[in-house]
Amino acid sequence: MIKDILYEKAEQRLIEKELNPDKSTKLAQWNSADHNHSLRNDSEKLYINENGEYFIIYEGGLSSGFHELPGVETWFGGSYTRTITIEDAYAWCEETGNEDIIREHVPFFMISISRGRPRNIP
């Protein structure tokens, strides 16, 4: 168990070094309003780096939902970073109510048009 946690932490450090939010563009964010300031507090931030890779940084407390993701071995609060495809990033924006970024971020807007669901442009 300890070995798995240490391995996961080392792997996360390597991923975080490659997917540095300080050198990337934050596209959108979602916060759990239901569990604010609790052990179940959840926060998710969607980024794109200079290589065009999309990734999400999950942050939260002891009982955060990100602990249920594949590959997460820790039981305590903290953060977890994982890469996602452009299609998954688009779906994440729809699921979290980040409709504005679908209109503003050209690759997402092109996906919405190709699916026959163009968004109204303000």
Q: Report yes or no on 6 lying in a domain.
A: yes
pLDDT digits (tens, 9 = 90+) for 70-91: 555 555 667 778 899 999 999 9
Cβ-in-10-Å burial (0-12, 13-18, 19+) of 56 comes to buried
CA 17 to the chain's CA centroid: 16
8 domain-assigned: yes
pLDDT greater at residue 110 or residue 1 = 110
Domains held by the chain: number: 1
Q: What is the pLDDT of residues 33-46, one digit of tens each?
A: 655 555 567 888 99
Range of the domain at 61: 2-85
